[in-house]
Chain A
Amino acid sequence: MSRQLTIIQAIKEALDQKMAEDQRVMLLGEDIGVNGGVFRATEGLLEKYGSARVVDTPLAESGIVGSAIGLALNGMIPVVEIQFLAFIYPGFEQIVSHAARMRFRTRGQFHVPLVIRTPYGAGIRGPELHSESVESFFVHTPGLKVVVPSNPYDAKGMLISAIEDPDPVIFLEPTRTYRAFKEEVPEEMYRVPLGKARVIQEGNDLSIFAWGAMLRVAMNAAKQIEQEKGWSCEVIDLRSLYPLDRDTIIQSVQKTGRACVVHEAHKTMGVGAEIISLINDEALMYLKAPVKRITGFDVPVPQFTIEDSYLPTEQRIKEGIVETILF
């Protein structure tokens, strides 16, 4: 049976169902228990599963991630919530030096099945350091998986996959879309495999690669271009940034011969650069124009009065599409 759910509701349902099914799954984070998380992703779970499994931790991100690594080493499946992506920095060392490397360091003897969920991205009118999009830090770290759902169906299915994954997964939740829309979500448990992109809309003239909150902006831009110019864009939600779904990317570029990457992270060394490099490696001779990046700027995400100017807009994406097609 399906119902209409928001991303937040879909995430809560995934956590709830995995906790009911597997006693080893436990949640850790600041304000996740009584308060249900600052975005209410864990609301009601404390009452249901008790304070031993839904843990309001001290305010210390390294402490949360570091102790979760130990819990994972000793047979638990911790799902950590970090309140906002930029708050992860105090826990960064534990993620990159230990969670990501434990399997490698012990030659497979020990591993860390850990999920770190965190809201990320701009467009929520948050204070400073509440709007970052620094997925590159984690994509650049061997041993981590980095995934980003953009809709309620994927949010539930990907979170269940992430919890069942034997490796540490950074699960980025686009804050801006948490409650922006509802979508049909099956009540039963299902899995959306990590490492697979999804073609949202088929098209022939240009491929657009996006993820997270940028997906809907890119979709709107593609629709307007179709109306205004009659060009059809193939829109692809990458969903998983590491591993990356190469086949879907390359097949699309081979079909359309043109591509734009849209991300709200800073331009330099962003994931967009990697996608372009991949296209160069695998599909250069299919290209009719250089691949364009429409991204955030190489500046800290500014205060909210001018936040929208930092973010890629439909207008900027449309201009990128036009420039690429008319090259």
Chain B
Amino acid sequence: MKTHTSILPADHVLEMYQVLTSDGDVREDLEGRIDESLMLKMYENMVLVRAFDRKSLILQRQGRLGTYAPFEGQEASQVGSAMALSPGDWLFPTYRDHAAAITHGQPLMRVFLYWMGHMEGTVCPEGKKIMPYCVPIATQMLHAVGTAWASKLKGEKNVSIAYFGDGASSEGDFHEALNFAGVYKAPVIFFCQNNGFAISTPFARQSASRTIAQRAAAYDIKGVRVDGNDIFAVWLTVKEAIERGLAGEGPTLIEAVTFRYGAHTTADDPTKYRDQETLSQEWRTKRDPILRLRMFLEKRDLWDEKREIQLQKEVSEKIDAAFQEAMNYPKSQPDDMFRHVYADTPWQIREQQQEFHRVCKKDGIKA
């Protein structure tokens, strides 16, 4: 079986776009393209979400979060893509894309609430268009087509971005979304994080096409394969896709080649189906998205150990404060399940709710 997730552009189908090398050097002139304050913000955001991810795993093991889907290793893909968006753009994350959601404005506290099984964990700040984490695979891609299509019809200068993994590229909705978006030239960005595995199934068993990006050709839309651990390449690629979309040139399919160090979820044991330690160690030492940017920043005297210590402290405090806030947030009440099913609650639900209350009262349970 061929390994498709090689970091080197070994295949001749579609080359992988890279700007920032593993050693922290850049392949092309960035003058005027990404300013230094933005680079620093990229670094800070990636450090924040990694710390959030690690903290979440610990909290899950302590039994304070439910099942959790980690993303460590994919920070450049999620943060870089979301940082390229404008505040009014639509973001459709999967259950693994909380880093993208956080970057686009979802408070850390809400993300904690979601993984704590709180009914209000999916609510986003007023005016934001951050959709709930999508659980059924690839289905959200079509919603992103629809919101982008509506933006175009209404003459609004907004795009939509849908996140998905390599496994989603096998679903029918992936193909229907690309086809619809191509036909209507919707300003939508399909952002695939190809981390090489759909739970236990390696990409080579997922797909006979060697890359996901090449599928774009079938729909006559733009396809780009990018080093998903290179935040500069990701940001520049998404920026360009947004410009293309807003210029009426239609959708872009982006395949960000990356790797997730940990398990699919906290309920999964990756050692059963992959050489977990070797693979993770290899990606951590040679390709890590945060390390790579730090080396670059240090070479340019934009970062040092002192700043790093300060940042780590700030990030840690911010996460702790968010978790405290989530812990103090009013608990979901059983009664909440009867709300927001319809605009006006029909008699069936209203009476079932009353019956539930009656029984709770009798049993001395809080409804």
Contacts and interface: CB of A to CB of B under 8 A. Distances in A.
B122 A105 contact: yes
A66 interface: yes
Most chain B C-beta atoms within 10 Å of own C-beta, residue among A67, A73, A103, A105: A67
B191 interface: no
A106 B149 contact: no
Nearest to A63: B176
Nearest to A165: B343
Given A107-B122, A143-B341, A243-B347, A70 B179 contact: no
A25 to B, nearest CB: 12
A283 to B, nearest CB: 15
B131 interface: yes
B14 interface: no
A66 B131 contact: no
A220 B154 CA distance: 50
A151 to B, nearest CB: 24
Contacts of B145: 63, 66-67, 70
B347 to A, nearest CB: 6
Contacts of A76: 150, 153
A137 interface: no
B119 interface: yes
A74 B179 CA distance: 20
Interface in B341-367: 341-343, 346-349
Interface stretch (A41-49, A90-98, A181-189, A228-236): A90-98
Interface stretch (A2-10, A54-62, A155-163): A54-62
Nearest to A102: B132
A249 B56 CA distance: 53
Contacts of B132: 105-106
Interface string A185-208: 000000000010000000000000
A242 B120 CA distance: 27
A210 interface: no
Given A57-B180, A109-B124, A243-B348, A103 B142 contact: no
B343 A111 contact: yes
Interface residues of A, number: 44
A244 B349 CA distance: 12
B341 A104 contact: yes
A107 B346 CA distance: 17
Contacts of B180: 57-58, 60, 63, 67
A94 B139 contact: yes
B227 to A, nearest CB: 30
A156 B176 CA distance: 32
A221 interface: no
Contact of A74 (B90, B120, B176, B349): B90
Given A63-B180, A195-B346, A73 B143 contact: yes
A71 B145 CA distance: 8
Nearest to A72: B146
A74 B150 contact: yes
Most chain B C-beta atoms within 10 Å of own C-beta, residue among A26, A69, A111, A244: A69
A127 interface: no
Interface string A143-180: 10100000000000000000001110000000000000
Contacts of A145: 342
Contact of A98 (B143, B340, B341): B143
Contacts of B320: none
A246 B349 CA distance: 13
> What class of interface size applies to chain B in its complex with A?
35 or more
B341 A67 contact: no
Nearest to B145: A67
Nearest to B151: A74
Contacts of A70: 142-150, 160
A1 interface: no
A75 B347 contact: no
Interface string A17-56: 0000000001000000000000000000000000010000
B342 to A, nearest CB: 5
Nearest to A142: B341
Contact of B154 (A58, A75, A104, A143): A75
A98 B173 CA distance: 13
Contacts of B32: none
A71 B146 contact: yes
Interface in B149-201: 149-151, 153-154, 160, 172-173, 176-177, 179-180, 183
Given A63-B176, A105-B122, A71 B147 contact: yes
A110 B129 CA distance: 9
B364 to A, nearest CB: 26
Nearest to B186: A67
A275 to B, nearest CB: 13
A71 B340 contact: no
A69 B143 contact: yes
B150 A75 contact: yes
6 contacts: A60-B179, A66-B177, A72-B146, A73-B131, A111-B343, A142-B349
Given A63-B177, A67-B180, A74-B90, 4 more contacts: A66-B139, A68-B146, A73-B131, A74-B150
The 6 closest A-B pairs by CB, nearest first: A70-B146, A66-B142, A63-B176, A74-B150, A243-B346, A70-B143
